[in-house]
Amino acid sequence: MVLIGGGHANVQVLKKLCMNNIKGLHTILISEHFEAIYSGMTPGYIHEDFTKEEISIDLQRLCFNAGATFIKDKVIKLDTNHKELHLQNSPSVNYDLLSINTGSVSNTKKINIENSSKYFFVKPISSLVKNLNQIDQIVKNNKNKIVIIGGGVASYELAFSLKRRYESLFKITILGKKILKEKNLNKKTKNDLKRIAENLNIKECHGEVISISEKYLTLKNGEKIDCDLSLISTGASIESWLLESDLIKDEKGFIKVNDNLLSINDKNIFVTGDACSIDNKPKPKSGVMAVRQGETLKKNIFLKLTGKNLIKFKPQKNWLYLIGTYKNYALLNYFFLSFHSQWCWRLKVWIDRNFINNFKFTNNLGMTKRNFELENFKNTLMYCQGCGSKVSKNTLINYIKKNSDNIHLKDSSIVNNRTLQILQTIDHIKLFSSLNPFDFGKISYLHSHNDILAAGGEVKSLSVSLGVPFSENSVEKFYLEYFMEGIRHEADKNDCIISSGHSYQSQEPGITLTLNGEIKSNVSKNSAKVGDLIYLSKPLGTGYLLAAYFNNSDMLSGNDFEKILNNLKKENFFAVNSARNSDSQTMTDISGFGLSSHLIDICLSSNLSSELILSPDILINTNIDLLRMFQSTSFENNHKSSRGYIRISENHPLKNILFDPQTNGPMLIAINKQNQKKFENYFSNESDIKPILIGRFIEKLEKAIYVNE
């Protein structure tokens, strides 16, 4: 099952999977960002009542707890004939069942936007949140005439929250062809909204915008309105990839669904939220509606997968509106009732927090799941554990034919080397639950490549053994292709040939890589000299940070995970080149044994000691509490084998980083003091980060490592 978009409905499907397990089901979520934004709390975020974390759902963590895979990417094409999705940056994905909940975008078909103008779209709401810093900058630069184009209730709530954010800094106008025409708003609510706008000095203007220029907007009647920045909150439409799909749409271009929320012409595709239009029952687009549809969607997906009859979604005719106005005030609208009060704000916060807290997992590990089975489930206990556990021949042949010149399907290849000396290394890493296997393929290659680089080598070829989960058809194909394409993505950069491979099905998916190379420069662990400076090519911390994240620590957000992932995908090739160009002959890659073990090896081989000055700069995440509170499984063993060689205060806040195991960790590089500038300049020219100086080698003393207090 593939879910597209972490909208208000799909997140509820994933939440249900956190508590229920469907045997035989593999779930993938594809969404553009690591975090999904909850629309109801966004105005509160704009006027700084809530933090970004409070209004966001961490999609990677949600997938981890749901047993799903998360792919951060954008779908750009839906091919219903081949049940295939094309993605912007990753290989395509096949589905058996699809759920689309990708929201809507602001409709600007009738507006001519000049390049010189400053404008932002209010929909999707995630883009508004992302662009808020840029809007801050524009307002700070005295570009303070803002026009919100569109006269719906969202424009009023947005105007109120912006007014509070920037206080008297700016002038704001709400400009709409129609103003407050929502039929569910009663007269008192409409009058109150207008009165509050007037009190806050927010202007209201009728008209249809036909063009946006740098300094003004032009209306259909020729009138010009002064404007430095426009926020476009016009009617919704859907993105072109959905419009161009075969799914039947209504006259406004939204995907038509039946009462079960299934596309009316494809019964393998659910569509919910802003993107859908219920056949013969059109309703205004809102987060409330998407949340309500999510309740039916999660039930229907389970019913469909387990072969039962689906239930019908019954849209409400009217619903509760709670619109934030002044600080701690909200306006409540329900049928003919309308109140403007502090208790309305408290009610709003209570409802919104209740929803979003469903998706926070702090200290909520080890939930026991109820078990279900797919309609045509095959018992995995019968899977062969021996040579028969291979990936099926068809999947393999299809992949090989598509991606290599090995058309005769030879079992082995010839790799020509310049010399008889072959540098060889082997590594295996297990797939982290919920991680995109394409990213994992890249990381596994980079992790293995470090061994070749640290030995002064240049990689020539690789052999790979893939462990994919027990699966069939599209799932087996997905893992095989994603793992292989990830490896290929990185290997191609080094002209490394993929010479042979093997695959198997396993409860513990992972990748084993053997890399072959040739020696390019003389590197050894015994050539460090007194006074040589010790550098790291990138920061440390993947071991304990992944442990913390996958223990659902609330000290790490989806953005923090993205930073860890970017670090895991950062190659060391340029760092090693910089070291080689600066005549460094001593380096090692920091792997599962941690910083201390690798540095001790160099000290012992070179007959030296080392002096380290550790600061939070060496950490991927500078929150030292995380380092104190979380440890990866191999921490204890690393500590036991290295502790005796180190002098460090027991209270040193960074002590644990010495023993933290690294996946695709940094290079530890020794640089002669005279070459310091050359190395740093070369490094900075080649890479977007700076090398981190952590200490120097000294004459041999009792211990191998001495750390500053």
The residues of the shown chain that bind ligand FAD, judged by CB under 6 A, are 4-9, 30-33, 36, 39-40, 42-43, 74-75, 101-103, 122-126, 154, 157-158, 233, 239, 273-275, 285-288, 290
CB of 502 to ligand FAD, least distance (A): 34
Q: In the bound complex, what is the minimum distance in angstroms from residue 317's beta carbon to ligand FAD?
A: 16
Strand-pair partners of 224: 218
Min CB(418)–ligand FAD separation in Å: 46
Residue closer to ligand FAD, measured from CB, 12 or 664: 12
Tell me whether residue 63 or residue 669 sits nearer to ligand FAD (CB atom): 63
Q: Which is nearer to ligand FAD, 273 or 467 (CB)?
A: 273
Cα–Cα distance measured from residue 359 to residue 552, given in angstroms and rounded to the nearest whole number: 11
CA separation for the pair 67, 22 (Å, rounded): 10
* Identity of the residue, 4 or 225, whose beta carbon is nearer to ligand FAD in the bound complex: 4
In whole angstroms, how close is the CB of 51 to ligand FAD at the nearest point?
18
Measured from the CB atom, is 158 or 185 closer to ligand FAD? 158
When the beta carbons of 558 and 594 are compared against ligand FAD, the nearer one is 558
Find the shortest distance in angstroms from Cβ 694 to ligand FAD: 39
Task: Determine contact, residues 168/138, Cβ cutoff 8 Å.
Answer: no
DSSP secondary structure code for residue 251 in this structure: T
How many Cα atoms occupy the beta-carbon half-sphere of 316 within 13 Å? Answer: 15
- Terminal Cα distance for the chain, rounded: 53
Amino acid at residue number 264: I
Minimum CB separation from ligand FAD for residue 10, in Å? 7
**What are the angstrom distances between the C-alpha of 31 and each of 94, 99, 100, 338, 514?**
16, 12, 10, 37, 33
Cβ nearer to ligand FAD, comparing 120 with 479:
120
Q: How far is the CB of 88 from ligand FAD (least distance, A)?
A: 8
Report the distance separating Cα 183 and Cα 203, nearest Å: 22
Report the run of H or E that residue 372 belongs to, with start and end. Answer: strand 370-373
Is there a contact between 632 and 547 (Cβ–Cβ < 8 Å)?
Answer: yes
Instruction: Output 33 or 460, the one with its CB closest to ligand FAD.
Output: 33
Which residue's CB is nearer to ligand FAD, number 352 or number 427?
352
CA 483 to chain centre: 18
Radius of gyration of the chain (CA): 29
Neighbouring C-beta atoms of residue 602, cutoff 10 Å? 24
157 φψ region: left (φ > 0), alpha (ψ -120 to 50), beta (else)? alpha
Shortest distance, position 72 Cβ to ligand FAD, whole Å:
9
Strands annotated E in 435-542: 457-469, 497-506, 510-519, 533-536
Q: φ and ψ at 671, to 5 degrees?
A: -125, 130
Which pairs count as long-range contacts for 79-83, CB under 8 Å and 24+ apart, including other chains? 80/245, 80/246, 80/247, 80/266, 80/269, 81/246, 83/268, 83/474
Q: How far is CA 521 from CA 118, 360, 536, 579, 668, in A?
A: 53, 51, 20, 11, 16
**Residue closer to ligand FAD (CB basis): 355 or 377:** 355
Cis before 124? omega within 30: yes
What 3-state DSSP class applies to 232?
Answer: strand
Give me the residue whose beta carbon is nearest to ligand FAD: 273
Nearest CB to ligand FAD, comparing residues 8 and 298: 8
**Closer Cβ to ligand FAD, 146 or 288, answer by number:** 288
Q: How far is the CB of 233 from ligand FAD (least distance, A)?
A: 6
- Report, in Å, the least distance between residue 64 CB and ligand FAD: 17
Phi then psi for residue 264, to 5 deg, are -75, -15
To the nearest whole angstrom, how small is the minimum distance from the Cβ of residue 295 to ligand FAD? 13
Closest distance of CB 408 from ligand FAD, Å: 39
